[in-house]
Amino acid sequence: MGEALLSRLIARKLYHPDTVLISEPQVTRREFLAEKYGVKVTSDNRAAAAASEVLLLAIKPQVLEIVAAELAQVGESNVERGNLPVVVSILAGVPLEKLEAAFKHQPVIRAMPNTPATVGAGITAIAPGKTAQPNHMELAKKIFGAVGEVVEVPEHLMDAVTGLSGSGPAYVAVMIEALADGGVAAGLPRAIASKLALGTVLGTAQLLQQSELHPAQLKDRVTSPGGTTIAGVAHLEKAAFRSALIEAVQAAYRRSQELGN
């Protein structure tokens, strides 16, 4: 996700490569990022903490305490110099309270993007911390606007966002794979079945977005009396397809809460 953001920010010229410093522990990864994007790289998190505008946290939640401890000393020196970059976190499940405790003197914004950001079709929810100002939020919107749409939500809804849009691409991928498998089971060649499944999901999403139809309205338009589609929909209902998706979102929501504890 960090690279997805980086690639779009550089491609859209929102940041010049010379103004970006990435801290990455793996040598091969540092070399790759430096060569591909022309950015500066380091293995020292403390160097990255000296950012002048924004410090983007794109790490595993499990290593937050270790990384934050490395950054704490630099944060104190930034306070003395009056240089306080906003901290933007994309850590799943980590609440603002915990982030603000780790970065005591800095404004913090929590964000949850999703993987379609890689192709500029993502959607990101952001929530401001206690000391985040409107200019900090505008900066976050500029960053995540480079990879798709941005919505602002209250902090208490971020775990729900994680369960829906953060984890949602995986649910959709499973659905597309299952649609293609169904086509193969009905006699279609795999390549054609996969193309039809992907095109159907993509086209339906675009139709719903552009027409502003409620999904139930579109479903009703496609299901003619006694036809093929209503037969398929009836089978989905019998198999609890709708409930399975609802429960998947709730399961991911609960796991997001667990990660924050």
Does residue 141 or residue 257 have the better pLDDT? Answer: 141
* Nearest C-alpha neighbor of 51 from the set 60, 38, 62, 42: 42
Nearest-angstrom CA–CA distance, 85 and 79: 10
Q: Angle at the Cα of 51 (from 90 to 36), degrees rounded to 5?
A: 70
State the burial class of residue 56 (Cβ atoms within 10 Å of its Cβ: 0-12, 13-18, 19+): buried
Q: Strands 108-112 and 122-128: what pairing?
A: antiparallel
Reported as a pLDDT band with limits 50, 70 and 90, residue 75 is low
Locus of tokens 């040598």: 27
> Rounded to an integer, what distance in angstroms lies between the CA atom of residue 155 and that of residue 61?
17
Domains located in the chain, CATH noted? 2-156 (3.40.50.720), 168-259 (1.10.3730.10)
Confidence of residue 118 (pLDDT cuts 50, 70, 90): confident
Tell me what percent of the chain is helix, strand and coil, each rounded to the nearest 5.
Answer: 60, 10, 25
The radius of gyration computed from the CA coordinates of the chain, to the nearest angstrom, equals 22
pTM of the model: 0.86
Tokens 């410093």 belong to residue: 21
Element (H, E) at 89: strand 86-89
Mean per-residue pLDDT over the chain, rounded: 91
Of 44-53, 67-76, 226-235, give the lowest mean pLDDT range: 67-76
**Is residue 48 predicted with pLDDT exceeding 70?**
yes
pLDDT at residue 221 is higher than 80: yes
CB–CB of 157/164 below 8 Å?
A: no
The partner residues of 122 in beta bridges, in order of sequence, read 148
Say what the pLDDT of residue 78 is.
56
* Pairwise CA distance, residues 150 & 63, whole Å: 27
Q: How confident is the model at residue 68 (pLDDT cuts 50, 70, 90)?
A: confident
